[in-house]
Amino acid sequence: ILNVEQSPQSLHVQEGDSTNFTCSFPSSNFYALHWYRWETAKSPEALFVMTLNGDEKKKGRISATLNTKEGYSYLYIKGSQPEDSATYLCAFNNAGNMLTFGGGTRLMVKP
């Protein structure tokens, strides 16, 4: 069983704040790191897939970085909005098609 950890488990921020959270994963046998956004009562929605050390991806106000050598990825949200409230999941792929998910970071943005 692979150990994929996310921190913090939950986070409350004010509208307009920028925030970031961490995903740590095994640094050996790395193939890809995925980020998903998961709103309550909906299904997880893919945000990013990153495969190379140093990768940076951006989608609107959300961006992510990847460090495969030390086994971590950061997800950043700039100027948080109430609609950003969701659980953010990372998933580690060590080759093959199986993903191991972290426990998620639950973000709540207060207006």
Q: Which of residues 19-58 bind other proteins (CB under 8 A)?
A: 31-32, 34, 42-46, 49
104 binds other proteins (CB under 8 A): yes
User: Minimum distance from CB of 93 to other proteins (Å)?
Assistant: 6
Letter string b/e over residues 52-68, b meaning 16 or more CB atoms within 10 A of that residue's CB: eeebebeeeebbbbbeb
Do the beta carbons of residue 33 and residue 66 sit within 8 Å? yes
Q: Count other Cβ atoms within 10 Å, centred on residue 2.
A: 13
Nearer to other proteins, 16 or 103 (CB): 103
Find where tokens 């943005």 sit.
109
Sequence-distant (6+) residues with CB within 8 A of 59 are 47, 48
User: How far is residue 66's CA from residue 52's CA, in Å, rounded to a whole number?
Assistant: 7
Q: What does the per-residue mask of binding to other proteins show for 73-102, with x meaning CB under 8 A?
A: ----------------x-x-x---xxxxxx
User: Minimum distance from CB of 4 to other proteins (Å)?
Assistant: 8
User: Minimum distance from CB of 96 to other proteins (Å)?
Assistant: 8
Residues at the interface with other proteins (CB under 8 A): 1, 6, 9, 31-32, 34, 42-46, 49, 89, 91, 93, 97-104
